[in-house]
Amino acid sequence: MAVLLMNGLVARGERVTLILARREGPYLDDLDPAIELVDLGNRRSISSIRPLARWLRSARPDVLVSHLTHVNVAAALANRLARAGIPHVAVEHNQMGQNYALLTNRSVKVAYRLARFVYPGIARIVSVSQGVEAAVLAFTRGRAHNHQVIHNPVVTDGLVALSGEAPEHRWLADGADIPVLLGCGRLHHQKGFDVLISAVRQVLDDRPVRLVILGEGPLRPQLEAQLSSLNLGDHVDLAGFSRNPFAMMRAADAFILSSRWEGLPTVLIEALACGANIVATDCPSGPMEVLEGGKFGRLVPVDDSDALAKAICAALDAPLDSASAMARASDFTLDRAVDNYMALFDHLQPRRGKPSRG
């Protein structure tokens, strides 16, 4: 999402510099060529504090933007060290308390604990959903004076165009009159695919159905064992990564989000943009907000396979209106996110000419 936002800012004529602790990562090739890259030559955020402070003192960008808690804390400390008076925007993407409980890296855990002391001095804490904002305030014991919500940029013209392509999975192209469900995400405890698989076992007692799960992750062996124990090998496909999940979102009979927690679930918004018939858990946070309390998709309790199975059957019997779903997705476009960030930058630092965003 950060790459999409930076590219969107450049398209509006903004000067953007991307500061990296170390110049590596899978998304560098997706950056607009106009984005300047600065490599601090470090592997960890904490060891990048002094080099970043030196860069800030020298370059004097109009605004400093950082993402993720441990990076936000390091950037805030570097900004204080630089003493350059640069407005800092720190972006939070997920449930801080949930993330902290799962951390194993000691330095990252320290950064989370420091957040409650550092965040009050940051110019603006941006959360990607109302639920994330509530979680940040609770974890940091903060006050709302420097917080606001800006949704991630998700929907683009490219996404919509890809959704119109032919779906690549055989179950969506074989002409069989068997409903196909779709789930997308990392094969991780957070995503609740074990609960979804159990729900599909129950749905099969009522009608034929197939489930495709896109994504990879550490729980593949456990999920494969679950499929074997429930004799679901012919009904559920752990299909791995897909070049174009959007065509499958459009073609599937229902899209299922079974997560135990989220920040702002990107795949849910992508499914809306594809006109999908949605069933989602009412997890913290995002689905309730994105689906407006169930107006644009059915909501069920977390970790409840019975309720999920019933909602899937209801969705297959009475699909929700795809045009309404696509209209709701327009609230999460790249253009809208860029507008909101530019308005925030202007508020924090009234601009003269074309500014540099660090």
Q: Is the pLDDT of residue 31 over 70?
A: yes
Q: Across residues 11-17, what is the average pLDDT?
A: 96
**What is the model's pLDDT at position 43?**
74
Choosing among 3.40.50.2000, 3.40.50.9100, 2.60.120.10, 2.30.30.240, the CATH entry for 2-153+333-357 is 3.40.50.2000
**What is the model's pLDDT at position 352?**
42
How much is the pTM?
Answer: 0.89
Q: What is the pLDDT of residues 35-84, one digit of tens each?
A: 999 999 887 788 899 999 999 999 999 999 999 999 999 999 999 999 99
Q: What is the pLDDT of residues 220-267, one digit of tens each?
A: 999 999 999 999 999 999 999 999 999 999 999 999 999 999 999 999
Q: What is the pLDDT of residues 186-226, one digit of tens each?
A: 999 999 999 999 999 999 999 999 999 999 999 999 999 99
Q: What is the fold, at CATH topology level, of the domain defined by 157-332? A: Rossmann fold (3.40.50)
Q: Across residues 336-356, what is the average pLDDT?
A: 83
Q: Across residues 265-288, what is the average pLDDT?
A: 97
- What percentage of the chain has pLDDT greater than the value 70? 98
**What is the model's pLDDT at position 221?**
98
Sorting pLDDT into bands at 50, 70 and 90, what band is 301? very high
Q: Across residues 290-308, what is the average pLDDT?
A: 98
Each domain of the chain, given as residue ranges in start order, spans: 2-153+333-357, 157-332
- On the CB side of 190, CA atoms within 13 Å amount to 18
**What is the model's pLDDT at position 152?**
95
Q: Across residues 322-345, what is the average pLDDT?
A: 96
Q: Which residue has the higher pLDDT, 142 or 351?
A: 142
Query: CA distances (Å), 233 to each of 110, 197, 230, in order?
Result: 44, 11, 8
Q: Across residues 315-338, what is the average pLDDT?
A: 96
Q: Is the pLDDT of residue 356 over 70?
A: no
**What is the model's pLDDT at position 48?**
92
Sorting pLDDT into bands at 50, 70 and 90, what band is 29? confident
Q: Which residue has the higher pLDDT, 101 or 27?
A: 101
Average pLDDT, the chain: 94
157-332 has the same fold as 2-153+333-357? yes
